[in-house]
Amino acid sequence: MAAQGYHAPYPSDTPGGQNPHPMNFKETEDDSEHDDIPPAVRAQAASRSTWVSVIVNLGLSVTQIAVGVWAKSQGLVADGVHSLSDLVADFVVLAAARESRKDADEDHPYGHQRFENAASLALGVLLLVVGAGMVWQALLKLEQPETIPTAHAAALWVAAAALVAKELLFRYMLGVAKRVKSSMLVANAWHARSDAASSLVVALGLIGNLAGYPLLDPIAALIVGLMVGRMGWSFGWDALHDLMDRAIDESEVQAIRQTLLDTPGVIGVHDVRTRKMGDMVVADAHIEVDAQLSVEQGHNIAVAARRAVMQRHRVLNLMTHVDPAHRPDLDHLSAGALPPSV
């Protein structure tokens, strides 16, 4: 016989019935064991770093757009609009950080972690739309090259200052993201790095414009638009897959499988399946135990295996199915193929 155990979150295991352990972050460590970072600490770090980004992007967007219009630089204006989209993205991140740390409730028994995935999807769509608008405006300018003016040298100084500011912001935000192990903050940090790259393109375009090649300024704006659109597509596509229950990478699945096998009483493991839940993971697995054990003994082994996985990995919840070892696995047979006694 097969004893099946469906284990919902146990309130006694962790506060709120959820695993507080954060994700294993490839950028920071390969070991499956990690420091326990309380959700409140992660949320506070996310809020602080994002507010720093808000202040920087607000100052940059106002300065770049104002100077870009005055200095007749379409590239600098495009970069300013890019910074403005970052400002909106920062508020999206702040809202996601607030919503995702809410406790589980009756309507959301696994918590609200997927709000981060939804926020990343919204961020991707925003960047895609902004990028498309930049490309369109640049193409309109390139159709009438005689209307492209020579930019003022002040635009180049502003572009250079923006490049330095965005690179410093990237390094700060990535450091915070690694420390608290948040994929959403990593995405926002690399977004800042893409901003630095766009500012570099704009600066090069302005150098060409001032050197007597005015076409280079709208070409720089076109490149910035393509970069923003590509980044939006990447973020949105990844978030969409996460919302469609994409599995975690195979190395992390194998680490979870090994933790199950290391549990006393577990003879074998199969059908380990995972899906992302924000920065956390929901998993289910079939564990094989001695067929001569009682249902209670098999259940206790499953509880121990579940607890071990949730303590060592970024697993929010693990559902276990107990199978008798060295017996035919009937779980994948169709109803017509089952033995008469089943």
pTM over 0.75: no
**What is the full DSSP assignment across 80-117?**
HHHHHHHHHHHHHHHHHHHHHTSPP-SS-TT-STTHHH
For 31-88, how does the pLDDT look when each residue is reduced to its tens digit (9 = 90+)? Answer: 443 445 666 777 777 778 878 888 988 898 999 999 999 998 888 888 888 788 777 7
Secondary structure letter of residue 143 according to DSSP = T
Which runs of consecutive H residues, i.e. helices, occur in 211-294? 216-243, 250-261
CATH number at residue 305: 3.30.70.1350
pLDDT confidence band for 11 (50 / 70 / 90) = very low
Could you say which of 243, 278, 310 is where a domain stops? Answer: 243
- Backbone φ and ψ of 272, nearest 5°: -85, 120
Listed range (35-49, 147-161, 183-197, 314-328) with the worst mean pLDDT: 35-49
Q: How confident is the model at residue 2, as a pLDDT?
A: 40
301 occurs within a structural domain? yes
HEC readout, 33-81: CCCCCCHHHHHHHHHHHHHHHHHHHHHHHHHHHHHHHHHCCHHHHHHHH
Domain that holds residue 160: 39-243
Q: How confident is the model at residue 45, as a pLDDT?
A: 78
d(CA 108, CA 104): 6
Could you say which of 224, 243, 262 is where a domain stops? Answer: 243
Q: Which residues contact 307 (CB under 8 A, 6 or more apart)?
A: 13
Same domain, 128 and 188: yes
47 occurs within a structural domain? yes
340 occurs within a structural domain? no
Same domain, 172 and 309: no
d(CA 8, CA 2): 19
Average pLDDT of span 1-23: 38
Q: What is the mean pLDDT of the chain?
A: 79
User: How is the beta sheet containing 268-277 ordered, strand by strand?
Assistant: 268-277, 280-289, 315-324
